[in-house]
Amino acid sequence: MFFRPTPNVSIIIPAMNEADNLRQLLPTLPEVHEVVLIDGNSTDGTVDVAREVMPDITVVKQTRRGKGNALACGFAAATGDILVMFDADGSADPAEIPRFVDALLAGADFAKGSRFVEGGGSHDITRIRDLGNRGLNLVGNLAYRTHFTDLCYGYNAFWRDLLPVLDLPPVDARAEEGTMLWGDGFEIESLIFCRMSAAGVVTTEVPSVERERTFGVSNLNAISDGTRVLRTLITERQRTLRRRPEVANVGMRWMRRVTALSREASQKAA
């Protein structure tokens, strides 16, 4: 019988003032190894609600500002084999998590959510954001010689052993007052795309339907965020040309993962 590894999955959820959304969202998550909530100094009781709804949730305080820093703190705290990036605003469908895990178990290093492949979609994207995303996606594909359909989407999953490829700022590093370290802000999603692509990891697009935010108002701005993504593509392309990225040895990584998971399963069975 073919061995199908069973990895531990960590769901990483950055949140700032998302108490109402988490009250509805957390009970719908599938049973996994751990759920890691990264709190961005919320003032609405986000942490209290999360612990009330899910007593065993892991709560981490982010060390600086920005979604990128929040994700980096979550990645550092997570102990699972697979890390799932999951928004707290209700836009991500928990029922899709097995799709991402299956894509990784089928041999991918990086499972990239896409609203624009068959089976995907969005109930939230505006026409302006859609046009902007398509234009930025074209730039990203030309820069990295890829053929992906959705650059600016934050629902993704990857094997934890790829964290060195991302090379994110250390969570204990200090930023000067009034500034942010590169990778700490909303550029994080396109930065991850760039660094995974530069490293040549095996990426599989996973169809995903973006839902409307349940409560609250989105902080997205089509113009400023689009400009930030374009800057990220330019900056990261220059970075790739300046330095040789760590190229993922996909075959060896996959064999190490399967061997480790198989060993863990045998030890549990014993």
SS3 call for 85: strand
SS3 call for 205: strand
Per-residue pLDDT of the chain (270 residues; tens, 9 = 90+): 344 567 999 999 999 999 999 999 999 999 999 999 999 999 999 999 999 999 999 999 999 999 999 999 999 999 999 999 999 999 999 999 999 999 999 999 999 999 999 999 888 776 776 777 788 889 999 999 999 999 888 999 999 999 999 999 999 999 998 899 999 998 899 999 999 999 999 999 999 999 987 776 655 555 666 788 889 999 999 998 887 655 555 544 655 666 566 666 666 665
- 58 within 8 A of 34, measured Cβ to Cβ: yes
- Range list of β-strands (E), 62-138: 82-85, 110-114, 121-122
CA dihedral angle for residue 78, residue 81, residue 82, residue 85, rounded to 10 degrees? 10
Rounded-to-integer distance, Cα 66 and Cα 52, Å: 25
At residue 222, the pLDDT reads 53
How would you list the strands of the sheet with 58-61, edge to edge? 58-61, 34-39, 9-15, 82-85, 156-159, 110-114, 203-207
Q: What is the 3-state secondary structure (H, E, C) of 148-188?
A: CCCCCCCCEEEEHHHHHHHCCCCCCCCCCCCCCCCCCCCCH
Residue that is written with structure tokens 């190490």 in the block: 256
Rounded-to-integer distance, Cα 123 and Cα 210, Å: 6
Architecture of domain 9-269: Alpha-Beta Complex (3.90)
At residue 2, the pLDDT reads 45
Q: Could you tell me which residues are beta bridge partners of residue 38?
A: 14, 60
Rounded-to-integer distance, Cα 188 and Cα 66, Å: 9
- 166 within 8 A of 192, measured Cβ to Cβ: yes
At residue 169, the pLDDT reads 95
Which residues are CB-contacts of 8 (< 8 A; sequence separation ≥ 6)? 32, 33, 34, 79, 80, 81, 82
At residue 133, the pLDDT reads 76
At residue 119, the pLDDT reads 95
Residue that is written with structure tokens 């609250």 in the block: 216
At residue 51, the pLDDT reads 98
SS3 call for 195: helix
| DSSP state for residue 55 in the 8-state scheme | T
pTM of the predicted structure, to 2 decimals: 0.87
| DSSP state for residue 14 in the 8-state scheme | E
